[in-house]
Chains A and B, each alone.
Chain A
Amino acid sequence: MTNLRYTAGIVLLALVGSVHAGEFVVAQKAKAFSVKKLNIKVGDSVKFVNEDAMVHNVFSLSDAKSFDLGAYGQGASKSVTFDKPGTVEVECAVHPDMKMVVEVAK
């Protein structure tokens, strides 16, 4: 269960009418995102969980999705929904070596 929770790419399907939107989970651990690349579809969301003792941030300034989840500490998580197709470069502002890419398909 723990492994499932922390493994990116596990889709929890939420069926709302005919729309299939999933939630993916990405951990921030040992000053790295748990995956370097994640493939999702428009409408899916990604929950970023901070598993480090230090504060992390999650943001992107990409054209396909620009957001800033702010800074949060160990055990906290925040989600973002990707509503346009494209390549989204996700980073931690506090630790610029932490980077990953979310590929959002139509």
Chain B
Amino acid sequence: MRMAKVTVLASSVLLALLAGTVGAADVSMTPTQDEHKWLLPRTPPSPADNQPTSEREELGKMLFFDPRLSSERNLSCSSCHNPLFGWADGLPTAKGFRSKVLGRASPTVMNSGFTTLQMWDGRRASLEDQAMGPMESQDEMAMNLDALFKWLAVNPAYKAAFDKAYPGEAIGKETTSKAIAAYERTLVSNDSPFDRWLNGDQKAMTPSQVRGFRLFADPAKGNCAACHQAPNFTDGGFHNVGLASYGRTNPDVGRFAIKPLASLKGAFKTPTLRDISLTAPYFHDGSAQTLMEVVEHYNKGGVTKTDLSRDIKPLNLSQQEMQDIVAFMQALTTPAKPVTLPQLPPN
């Protein structure tokens, strides 16, 4: 009798072990119905008064790449949002007017049309609202806008482009920001291996990447999707993720400076993770060099605990699990498409 019990117990343990082994290796390579919520729409929504047209997008592209929109005619939007660096700049934090080092990293503009509030602290309500900000900032492009609009209005090619894009509307802040926003909405990353996997190509992601996706989304494991939500890997929200820099004297308080609510102390906008492998270093302060460093930060539950979001907790992920999550994030990059530069009007 005793022998029989031991045998049954041993068999159960063996079965459980086998099941565990099989479960780990045999990750389902097919997306579930619920996982299709991660499919990104083809185009982001546009406001009623700035519906996309090719004329608007072409004008916006000219303005986006034109350094003559800065006071010293050497900085364009693309200086910090550079297609060579995933539409960011590859720097820990941005460099502005005369290379002044600024306080926060340049975020990518890729897929920015899918997010309502713009900037790390959400102080701009739309892409249109954001577009003039760097030109007006004395720390960035430091442009005299009156002089800019006078010049655009007498430049024959720009005048013609504005007339085509926004007939009957004056060349000014509104039309300039609308055109830049219209161009930015053309920058969409939605053809990554992950997207192709969601669309039925089971071989588009490796087993490690599929495991990483499931760990990423599992609230009991990575819990990354609590903030990096479907379909653009952001909830458009603000969280204090416990960076070391928040533990220093007079830290950057982020969203709290815009909305002085206790929950927002040291909180910054959740960035998209699409094309994330192209935009190192990471975090708003550029403090993580690699995606593994980012995952290790979250695995620890953050560094600075003051005002830490209650969604950030130690994760207890194994090294293999962290590697799988990193592998998954590397599957979020859409293959590079050639960027055709605009032909800028002569001076």
Cβ of B163 within 8 Å of any chain A Cβ, yes or no, is: no
Pairwise interchain contact B267-A94, C-beta atoms closer than 8 A: yes
A65 within 8 Å of B (CB atoms):
no
Residue of B nearest to A68 (CB): B261
* B226 proximity list for chain A (CB < 8 A): 53-54
| Residues in A neighbouring B259, C-beta threshold 8 A | 61, 93
Cβ of B235 < 8 Å from any Cβ of A?
yes
Q: Binary interface profile of A, 84-98, with partner B (CB < 8 Å = 1, else 0)? A: 000000001111110
* A-chain residues with CB within 8 Å of residue B116 when the two chains form the complex: 96-97
| Interface hub of A73, A94, A96 (most chain B Cβ within 10 A) | A94
B262 within 8 A of A: yes
Residue on B nearest A57 in the bound complex, by CB: B263
Residues 196-252 of B at the A interface (beta carbon under 8 Å): 219, 226-227, 229, 235-239
CB pair B261–A93 under 8 Å, yes or no, is yes
Q: What's the tally of chain B residues with a CB closer than 8 Å to chain A?
A: 22
Once the chains bind, are A71 and B236 in contact (CB under 8 Å)? no
Which A residues between 32 and 58 are near B, CB-CB below 8 angstroms? 53-55, 57
The answer to whether B261 touches A96 (Cβ under 8 A) is no
A61 contacts which chain B residues (CB < 8 A)?
A: 259
Interface size class of A (residues with CB under 8 A): 10 to 19
**Also in contact, A54 and B311, with CB within 8 A (given A96-B116, A96-B236):** yes
The interface residues of chain B lying within 8 Å CB-to-CB of A72 are 310
Chain A neighbourhood of B281, CB < 8 A? none
Classify the interface of chain B: helix, strand, loop or mixed: loop
Residue interface bits A62-87, CB-to-B below 8 A is 1, else 0 = 00000010111100000000000000
Which B55-77 residues sit within 8 Å CB-CB of chain A?
none
CB distance A68 to B236 under 8 Å? no
The residue in chain A whose Cβ has the minimal distance to the Cβ of B307 is: A71
Indicate if B79 sits at the interface (CB-CB under 8 A): no
A46 vs chain B, min Cβ distance (A):
18
**Taking the complex as formed, is B88 at the interface, i.e. its CB lies under 8 A from any CB of chain A?**
no
B235 adjacent to A93 (CB under 8 Å): no
- A53-B226, A55-B309 are contacts. A97–B263 as well, Cβ < 8 Å? no
A31 engages B235 (CB within 8 Å) = yes
Do the beta carbons of B237 and A96 come within 8 Å of each other?
Answer: yes
- For A93, what are the chain B residues with a Cβ–Cβ distance below 8 Å? 238, 255, 259, 261, 263-264
Closest chain-A Cβ to B225's Cβ sits at a distance in Å of 9
Alpha-carbon distance A68/B264, docked complex (angstroms): 11
- CB neighbours (8 Å) of B227 from chain A are 54
Tell me the nearest residue of chain A to B237, going by C-beta.
A95
**CB of A59 closer than 8 Å to a CB of B:** yes
Q: In whole Å, how far is B70's beta carbon from the nearest beta carbon of chain A?
A: 31
A residues near B, CB below 8 A?
31, 53-55, 57, 59, 61, 68, 70-73, 92-97
Given contacts A53-B226, A93-B259, 5 further A-B pairs with CB under 8 A are A55-B310, A70-B262, A72-B310, A96-B116, A96-B117
